[in-house]
Homo-oligomer: A and B are copies of this chain.
Amino acid sequence: MIVNFGSVALDTTRTPFRTVKDVLGGSGTFFGLAASFFHETGLIGVVGEDFPEEYTKLLAERLDLTGLAVEKGKTFRFDSSFGYDLGTRTTNKTELNVFGEWEPSVPDEYKDAPYLYLGNIGPEQQLLVLDQMNEPELTVADSIELWIKTRRDLLIDVISRVNGIVLNDDEVRQLCRTSNLITGARTIMDWGADFVIVKKGEHGSILFAPDTIFPTSGYPLEEIVDPTGAGDAFAGGFMGHLARRGKIDDKAMKEAVIYGNVMGSFAVEEFSIYRFIGLTMEDIEGRYRKYKQMVAF
């Protein structure tokens, strides 16, 4: 099983073309749904009593929800806007609500899972989850600017204890205080990570490991509807493929990065998680093959 610790949120997303309110979102949601195509995935997260029944059903269709707590109060809410080019997001409001002070608890049946993903929650909560697990084979963490700015030292602690870290290019530059991504990735590996994946949105991603630099371009899309969740879907495709392969070597890692690009490319084609509804493994493998053929020379 892949244990997936992340937020389950109600998103309000505003683009110049359309606004959607209180739709299903959150890093745990996007990661989990993407990963679930490849491997059994269990979710650790919390929602409030206002969380719509239909969203719980939707998640339950693809995920083990033993780790999903329901607490008194309101669900985590995230309100953001995109400009005309859908390139940069502006956060309008983040209401942590029930997620704020929540102390995550790992269900006993998750503790021996070989794969652990720590979504972009604060490093205190990431460490709480990590401490309850029995040495997973592969742990990957994500983070965001907020924690780089307010909890940098604790985030570096997290990095020292995980195998891989997944960050945006700007986050690497901020965290490592360098403009150069290679230099930044080396710094992160010096802190103890085995590998670093730098996500660059539409420009693709780069995998850095001690003897590997694997730059990839994004899957070209004619229509992008809502970039929300692309990074988490990327991570879901990445870990999902590694879990499915059951072997973590250079070849599997590279393939996994491409599956990450593919899952990210699906995520942005609809608002919320709706592109994943009705998506099949055949669609995923088809896009993977198309990508592979496209970039060959």
Contact = CB atoms under 8 A, between A and B. Distances in A.
A73 interface: no
B216 A181 contact: no
A59 interface: no
A181 B251 contact: no
B84 A179 contact: yes
Contact of A213 (B220, B257, B258): B220
A173 interface: yes
A164 to B, nearest CB: 17
Interface residues on A, range: 35 or more
A250 to B, nearest CB: 9
A294 interface: yes
Most chain B beta-carbon contacts within 10 A, residue among A180, A214, A223, A297: A297
A144 interface: no
Interface string A78-100: 00000011110000000000000
A182 B221 contact: yes
Interface string A256-279: 011000000000000000000000
Contacts of A251: 297
A181 B85 contact: no
A67 to B, nearest CB: 33
Contacts of A183: 222
Given A251-B297, A258-B297, A297-B251, A182 B216 contact: no
A220 B295 contact: no
Interface in A198-228: 200, 203-204, 206, 213-224
Nearest to A212: B294
Contacts of A287: none
A24 B219 CA distance: 38
A258 B180 CA distance: 22
Given A85-B179, A213-B220, A254-B297, 12 more contacts: A85-B173, A87-B179, A180-B222, A180-B223, A200-B203, A203-B217, A214-B297, A215-B220, A216-B295, A255-B297, A292-B297, A295-B295
19 contacts: A85-B179, A87-B179, A182-B221, A200-B203, A203-B203, A203-B217, A204-B215, A204-B217, A213-B220, A213-B294, A214-B294, A214-B297, A215-B219, A215-B294, A216-B217, A254-B297, A257-B297, A258-B297, A292-B297
In the A-B complex, the 8 residue pairs with the closest CB atoms:
A215-B217, A85-B179, A203-B203, A254-B297, A182-B222, A217-B217, A213-B220, A215-B220
Interface of A: 84-87, 173, 179-183, 200, 203-204, 206, 213-224, 251, 254-255, 257-258, 292, 294-295, 297
